[in-house]
Copies of this chain bind each other. A is one copy, B any other.
Amino acid sequence: MNVVTSDGTVAKALSVLDQVTAMGRPVRMRELLETSEFPKPTLYRLLQTLTNQRMLSYDKEQQTYAPGIRLVSLAHSAWSQASLAPIAAPHISALAASLREAIHLAQIDNGQVVFVDKRQASNRFETLARTGQVAPAYCTGVGKAILAHLSDDAQAQALRQQAFLKYTGATHTSAETLLRELEEIRADGIAFDREEHEVGIISIAAPILTNVGRVVGAISIATATNRHTLDGLNAFRPALLDCAALIGAEAQSWQSPSVPS
């Protein structure tokens, strides 16, 4: 029953990988070293290993590391197997088409929301490949929709992982106020993002629940405040709930996110 037992070298390597990808641009070892918990030679060795394994690519000229293409191909399998996207695709396409609004499909991972698919009704461009983006759970519609329906211990664990950074004036900054809202969301069945993550962006989100009531993800309609008000979004509630129910029914036989005790 190890709780936070760090499992060895692999964990370290992955944390370095995370650090590099989080930088969002090619980085030199020096920069990593400043933040890294590892001493220089260790960090160096891990970078070497990851580069050899093509999880990172190394630019000899600039002496910089960046995420490697191997990740892209790994993710293909992950996306088509581990995500709700293949199941949900037809449903959210239909919803996007009928409402002419942008639909997001998200799942939770380690306290963060991961967007696994998107549909943009209008502008044909831009939609692609923002898949995989992550965002905090505590200040997004989909995030709160999921959090509200987690089991007690999973929820507690997820809450501990929230940073509660104040992105806007409306952002929750503590677990207490968030918890109160989560209860309302659970009762209501719908979550709103009231410009909590980004000023001018609001959303309405519904959890995707299996027959047994386990939450496996969420869908949302996101829009700008100059297009819709919160009340306006509320008009989409029935359609959104219907769609989530459809996906939930099909997701029945589906892989659990394996929350370890």
Contact = CB atoms under 8 A, between A and B. Distances in A.
Interface of A: 7-11, 13-14, 17-18, 21-22, 24-26, 46, 48-55, 57-61, 64, 66-83, 85, 89, 93, 107, 109-110, 112, 114, 116-117, 124-125, 128-134, 255-258, 260
Nearest to A12: B10
A257 B69 contact: yes
A79 B70 CA distance: 10
A109 B74 CA distance: 12
B57 A69 contact: no
Contacts of A255: 26, 57, 59, 64, 66
B60 A258 contact: yes
A75 B77 contact: no
Contacts of A125: 93
A132 B59 CA distance: 22
A54 B111 CA distance: 12
Contacts of A71: 71, 74-75, 77-79, 82
A231 B76 CA distance: 33
A79 B129 contact: yes
